[in-house]
Structure 1
Amino acid sequence: MTTTTENEFPYRYDVVGSLLRPATLKDARAKFAAGEIDADQLKTVQRAETRRVVGEQVALGLKAVTDGEFNRSWWHLDFLWGLNGVGHYDYQQSYKFHGSKTRTDNADLVGKIAFNPDHPFFESFQYLQSLVPAGVLVKQTIPSPTMLFRDNRSDNWHEFYETWDAYLDDLAKAYHETILRFYELGCRYLQLDDTTWAFLISKLNETVDDATAHQTYVALAEDAVRVINDLLTDLPADLTVTTHICRGNFKSTYLFSGGYDDVADYLSQLHYDGLFLEYDSDRAGDFTPLKKIWNNDTNKKLVLGLITSKFPDLENEDDIKTRIKDAAQQVPLANLALSTQCGFASTEEGNQLTEDQQWAKLKLVKRIADDVWG
C-alpha cells in the first residue's frame, strides 16, 4: 500500500474500469461460443478493440486507463476461475437484478485456493502495458476476494480445509501473490471491485431485529476486513491499491440499496489507498458516513461516483459541483476525486447507452474535475 503523503492516484478524475463492448467483440465472442472461430481469432479481435479504447482514453486525457475488461465476460467470475482451486459450473439460477436476470455461470471450490502463475490476466496485462504512452498509467481491475466466500461459492470449503480460518488464510495469500505478480509485470495501480459491502448494507439493515441472522453478516464483514487487510500487508510502497464498492450494475439495473452508515466502521478499517463510492442516486444515502470512512487518513482518497454510468442523460455540472462541495464538508477536498458510479459493462452485455454517450460521460467527469480541483 502506498505510504507517501503525495499519492497521485486515484487521480482527481478517474475511470472505474469496464467499458461497453463493441459489436465486433460481441460478435466474435458469439462466434467463438458457436465454434465458428478459434481462441486466437477471438484474441485478435479483442486486442484490436482494446488498442482502440486505450487510444480513446488517452485522447480523452485520462491519467490511468484500463482495457475496458474486454478480456472477460464477467467482472468477477473470469478472474476467479483463473485461480488454482476454483471451478466453473452452472448455478442454474440468475443474479436477480431489479428488472433483469443474468446468465447462470458461477464459481465454486474444487481444491485448495492458490496463486496461479499462469493466470490468463497476466498476459492481458502485459498487452495492455505495451499500449500506453509515457505519462499514462495502466489500471488493473480484479474482483475482491470477498466475492469467493459469498453466493454459495465456498459452501464446500470443509472438503479441502480443516478450518474456515485456514481457507481465508489461503485466499489472502493467493491474492497477495497474484498482486505481487502484477507488480513484477509493471502494475502500479490496482483496484479490487466489491459488491459485498453493498450486500452487507442491505443484510445488516434487514436483520437488525434478528440477532442470530445479524451476527452471520457481522461475521462476514469481519472476515472481509481480515482477508482484505491480510492481502494488502507488505505490498510495495509504490503500488496504489483501491476498491470500488458497487451496488450491482447489469443492463442499467441494480441489486442493492442503502447508505454507507451500516458498514462505515468496517470500511474505515480497510488499508486501501482509495475507495470508489457510488453516489449517483438517492439509494446511496447522504455524505455523512464519508467522514468515518475516510478516518482522518491524509493518504486516502474517496472517489465520488456522482455521474451515473447506467443512463445516457448528462448530469448538470453545477449540481455535481454543489454535491462535491457538500461532500467536502465531511472530507477535505484534496482527499476527494470524481468518477462515474461504476463501469459501463460489468458483464459483456453492458449498460443501456451508446459508446458515444459513454465517452461523453467520461468527458463530463474530467471537465467537472478540472474546474473543481484545477
Structure 2
Amino acid sequence: MTTTRPPFRADHVGSLLRPAYLAEAREAFAAGTLPADAYVEVQNRAVREIIALQEDVGLIGITDGEARRDTWHMDYIYQIGGISKRETDMKVRFHNAGGDIEWTPAKLHVTDKLNLPSTIFADAFTFLKENVSRGVPKLTIPSPSMVHYRGGREAVDAAVYPDLEAFYADLSAVYAEEIAGLGALGCTYLQLDDTSLAYLNDPAQRAMIAAQGEDADTQHETYIRIINDAVRNRPAGMTITTHLCRGNFRSSWVASGSYDHVADALFNTLDVDGYFLEFDDERSGGFEPLRLLPKGEKRVVLGLLTTKHGELEDADTIKRRIDAAAKFAPMEQLCLSAQCGFSSTKEGNDVTPDQQRAKLELIVEIAQDMWGEL
C-alpha cells in the first residue's frame, strides 16, 4: 500500500549524490570549454538516472536530487530580484568526527526591493515532472528565513529597507508568488529547507543572532510568521513540508541542540503539513519535543538514518527508535527518512553511490514493516 498524501512513510530529504561525469561537466562549463546546451544535456542525463534510482528502490516522493545546483539554497536565492552576490571572507566552521573544516560561501546583499522576475526552478521542475514515471514529483527550495538568517540586518541595504518589517513583507510576497507559480506548473509536493529553525536551538547560534542586534529568543517566531504569510494562499492540493537541518557539508555539521527551543511554535504555529527532523545522533536531542505535535493530519518524518557516513544502520535498531518516538507522537503521524540530503552541495557527503542506495532501500523496507505502507 501507499499512503495517499505526502510526506510518505518512506521518504527522503531531497539531495542525492551527483554522478562524477556531472562534476566534470560543471568544471568544463565553468572553464568555457563546454557549451551551455551541452551542459544542460549532461544535467538532464544525471537527473534521469537520479529519478530512476528513486523509483527502483520504491520511493514515492521523487526529486531531481538537486543535481542542477551548486548548493541547496544559494542557486535559488540569487534568482530572487533585488538580491546580489557579494564575495566575503566570512568562514563557516563545520564539524565532523575527524575535526573541523571551513567553508567560505558567497554572501547575499539585498540591494533593491525584492521581486520575482519569474518562477524559480520552473524548467527544472517541469523536466522532473515529465520524467517521473511513477510517484509524486517533489521540489525542494530554501525557506524564506534563509534570505535573512546568515547576514541579518547588515545584508539588507538600509536605504532600500529602512524597516525590516517591510523587507519581511516583501520576502513573504515573493515566496507566495513563487508557490503560486509552482502550483500552476503542477507541483503538489513542496519542501522548504530551513537551517535557521534548527540552528536556533543551539545557544551559540542564538548568541550570533543577538550580536547582530536581533532578539535571539524570538527570531524563530519571526521566521515562522514570514513562512506562514508565504504559504497562506498555497494552491489547493499542494502539500508543503519543511526540513530542519543543523548543517550538512561534506559529512560535517554546524549546530547542536534538541528541538526544545523552537518546538512549541514549530508544531503549533508553523502552517505546514509535515516536518523532516534530524534524529540520527545525540546532537539532535531526544524525542520528547514530539509531545507538542498536535493530534491530527500533520506528520513528522523521523530522520533516523544518517547521510554523514556510509555505514548501514541496523534495521531493528531503527525500528526500536521509531517505537520510542511513538511514545510521544501517534504512530500514524510518523514517517521515516534519512536525517538530511546526501549532497546538500555539489561536493556531496562521504558516502558511495552503493551506500546511498542501500540506505534508501532500508528506509523503504523499514517503512513497509512498521506501517504496512509506503
TM range (shorter): over 0.9
8 Å CA contact retained: 1:95, 1:101: yes
Question: Deviations along 1:313-349, whole A, 9 cap, x unmatched?
Answer: 1111111101100110111100000000000000000
What is the correspondence of 1:119-198 to structure 2 with a 5 Å cutoff?
Answer: 119=120, 121-133=121-133, 135-152=134-151, 154-155=153-154, 156-198=156-198
* Alpha carbons of structure 1 residues 7 and 95: separation in structure 2 relative to 1, 3 Å: farther
* Alpha carbons of structure 1 residues 204 and 255: separation in structure 2 relative to 1, 3 Å: closer
* Alpha carbons of structure 1 residues 265 and 205: separation in structure 2 relative to 1, 3 Å: farther
Question: What residue number does 1:8 align with?
Answer: 5
What is the correspondence of 1:244-255 to structure 2 with a 5 Å cutoff?
Answer: 244-255=243-254
Partner Cα distance (1:282, 1:48) in 2:
38
Where 1:201 maps in the other structure, the secondary structure is coil
Match of 1:301 among 287, 293, 299: 299
Partner Cα distance (1:303, 1:314) in 2:
19
Where 1:218 maps in the other structure, the secondary structure is coil
Paired residues, what number? 364
Partner Cα distance (2:146, 2:210) in 1:
24
Partner Cα distance (2:111, 2:30) in 1:
24
How far 1:103 sits from its partner (Å)? 4.0
Partner Cα distance (1:154, 1:44) in 2:
40
Question: What residue number does 1:45 align with?
Answer: 42
Question: What residue number does 1:92 align with?
Answer: 89
Question: What residue number does 1:3 align with?
Answer: none
Question: Deviations along 1:54-106, whole A, 9 cap, x unmatched?
Answer: 01111111111000001110100000011111111212223211122224322
How far 1:33 sits from its partner (Å)? 1.4
8 Å CA contact retained: 1:280, 1:307: yes
How far 1:114 sits from its partner (Å)? 1.2
How far 1:7 sits from its partner (Å)? 6.0
Where 1:216 maps in the other structure, the secondary structure is coil
Partner Cα distance (2:186, 2:202) in 1:
38
8 Å CA contact retained: 1:109, 1:154: no
Partner Cα distance (1:215, 1:229) in 2:
20
Question: What residue number does 2:113 align with?
Answer: 112
Question: What residue number does 1:264 align with?
Answer: 263
Partner Cα distance (2:135, 2:126) in 1:
15
TM-score normalised to structure 2 length: 0.93
How far 1:254 sits from its partner (Å)? 0.4
How far 1:218 sits from its partner (Å)? 2.4
Partner Cα distance (1:219, 1:261) in 2:
13
Structure 1, unmatched stretches of 5+, are 1-5
Question: Deviations along 1:144-166, whole A, 9 cap, x unmatched?
Answer: 01011122265234221242111
Partner Cα distance (2:152, 2:79) in 1:
14
Question: Deviations along 1:11-49, whole A, 9 cap, x unmatched?
Answer: 000011000111000001111111111222211111111
Where 2:340 maps in the other structure, the secondary structure is coil
The alignment status of 1:202 with 2:199, answered yes or no, reads: no
* Alpha carbons of structure 1 residues 103 and 22: separation in structure 2 relative to 1, 3 Å: farther
Structure 2, unmatched stretches of 5+, are none
8 Å CA contact retained: 1:204, 1:218: no
Partner Cα distance (2:152, 2:87) in 1:
12
Moved more, 214-223 or 105-114: 214-223
Task: List structure 1 segments (4+ residues) > 4 angstroms apart after TM superposition.
Answer: 204-207, 210-215
Question: What residue number does 1:330 align with?
Answer: 328
RMSD over aligned Cα atoms: 2.0
How far 1:131 sits from its partner (Å)? 0.1
Question: What residue number does 1:222 align with?
Answer: 221
Partner Cα distance (1:211, 1:350) in 2:
32
Opposite residue 234 of structure 1, the aligned amino acid is N
The alignment status of 1:357 with 2:358, answered yes or no, reads: no
8 Å CA contact retained: 1:259, 1:283: yes
Question: What residue number does 1:102 align with?
Answer: 103
Partner Cα distance (2:193, 2:210) in 1:
29
Partner Cα distance (1:46, 1:113) in 2:
29
* Alpha carbons of structure 1 residues 153 and 44: separation in structure 2 relative to 1, 3 Å: farther
8 Å CA contact retained: 2:78, 2:108: yes
8 Å CA contact retained: 1:142, 1:193: yes
The alignment status of 1:57 with 2:54, answered yes or no, reads: yes
Percent of aligned positions that are identical:
41
Moved more, 283-292 or 82-91: 82-91
Question: Deviations along 1:179-227, whole A, 9 cap, x unmatched?
Answer: 11011001000000000012211137865xx999997212421210110
